[in-house]
Amino acid sequence: MAERAVRSLRTRLLAWYVGTSLLVLATVGVAVCWVTWQSRVSAVDAELRVQARRVSGAVRARPGGAFDVELPSDATAYFQQARPRTYYAVWTIRGRLVDQSRPDLGLPAAPVSGARTRGASREVIVGDGELTVLVGRQIDDVREELWSLAGTMALAGTGAMALALLCAWLVASRALAPVQRISETARRMAGGELSARVAVDRTESELGQVADALNLAFDRLHEALERQSRFTADASHELRTPVAMLSAEVDWVLMRERSAAEYREALEACSRVAARMRGLVQSLLILARADSGELSVSRERVRLDLVIDQAVESLRQLSLDRCVRVESAMMPVTVEGDSERLLQLVTNLVLNAVVYSPPDGLVRVALTLEGNEATVRVTDRGIGIEADDLPRIFDRFYRCTSARTCEPGGAGLGLAIAKWIVDAHHGAIACTSEPGCGTEFVVRLPAHQAAGRVPGTGPPPPAPGERAVQGLSRV
């Protein structure tokens, strides 16, 4: 199919080339023939004018109104030649014929001065006030010369056209070879060979840019398909464990009659598993809708410090249960965004910090205004992240080794959702960590403005040159 399409394109290109070349050659040929004709006719006119002046000078008036014409010998020889046939005629001013070189000329009355083509002859008429002299000659030789020139040009043009067509075929084949390679690569990818790429080093000029663009599109397609495949496999893996736990718990209960306490314990276990599955499914749904573009964020002014307070407060009980102290130091800052998504962002980051902190650990949450950016820092003194794991911590379902051994372990979607929320708010998120020493997440969002102090909602903004307010709230 690709080869047939390339052949069709080559044929159309050659047809356009041949048609254009023929038009150019025909135009040039007609122009050359026309210029040659005009040049030769001008030369004949000049020749006839010279002979007309000689005839006019050879006319002598006699008494009684008669005239004698005594041509010099060279002029006589000129008018007596057989080819080209030449002739002359002389009239008085009143139109009376004085003399003519041939009786069979069949000339009409004295014509008007000038040059003209009559039949197969060219004639020049000259008037000197008393006489009108016409000198003419046949121009068959000029026409034969012109036809000979046209034939020569036609033969040369045919040869040039054949050579040009051969060269065009070779050039078109070479120029379309990259197109054929691109088509072949696309066909191989359509057949399932997703790693196939166009050889850019063998593709020239503009087609090289097309090949680069296609390779980039192929890379993204390959990456998207691999991500989708990994996503499906990881989701199946993550769901398999809670489903197995739920099935095992139900099977255990149904094996025989149980006491009310045992039934209650089994139902509570099933409820915990169902809650875990529900959270996983909700996270999957958020990411799937985000990928498809169906999920958007609203744009409204949000007090980011209040959002952080709400997130910290929602995790109070978890931090108490794990004996982790959470401290916050914030200044009031307003951003434009979705308060619900921002709450989810901060909650995910603080939750990670609490979960992966040791007992009696400390988590710090700070909000500052740095230039035109609201900067949120979440710092813990927990287990940390290995350097090899840092580049992938925002990948879906990815959990580093330390995270996999930490309870309660998540599905590896929290940071992926956090990354999407930050990107949707045109911000940036980064992580630095040292194993055994702790981790810091830094989120930067475009700030709308520094909010004024609102009583009871936090400390006032810092004075110029001072640090952000250091008032601490503990949970």
φ, ψ for residue 91 (rounded to 5)?
-125, 155
User: What are the E-state strand segments in 174-332?
Assistant: 300-303, 325-330
pLDDT the model gives residue 405: 45
pLDDT the model gives residue 472: 33
Q: Rounded to whole angstroms, what are the CA distances from 340 to 299, 417, 424?
A: 11, 13, 13
The Cα–Cα gap between 283 and 296 comes to 15
Residues 6 or more apart whose Cβ sits within 8 Å of residue 144: none
pLDDT the model gives residue 257: 85
| Residue pair 339/300 in contact by the 8 Å Cβ criterion | yes
pLDDT the model gives residue 198: 66
Parts of the chain with a pLDDT under 50 = 1-2, 404-408, 450-475
pLDDT the model gives residue 399: 66
User: What are the E-state strand segments in 356-401?
Assistant: 362-370, 373-380
pLDDT the model gives residue 118: 86
Asked if the bond preceding 84 is cis, omega within 30° of 0, the reply is: yes
Place of tokens 């069709």: 8
Strands 97-100 and 114-118: unpaired
pLDDT the model gives residue 291: 65
Burial of 425 per CB tally in 10 Å (0-12, 13-18, 19+): buried
Cα 158 vs. chain centroid, distance in angstroms? 41
The Cα–Cα gap between 227 and 225 comes to 5
0.75 exceeded by the pTM?
A: no
Structure tokens at 466: 């001072």
Burial of 325 per CB tally in 10 Å (0-12, 13-18, 19+): middle
Strands 300-303 and 333-337: antiparallel
Q: How many CA atoms lie within 13 A of 172 on its CB side?
A: 19
CA atoms 85, 86, 92, 98: torsion sign:
negative
The Cα–Cα gap between 448 and 271 comes to 43
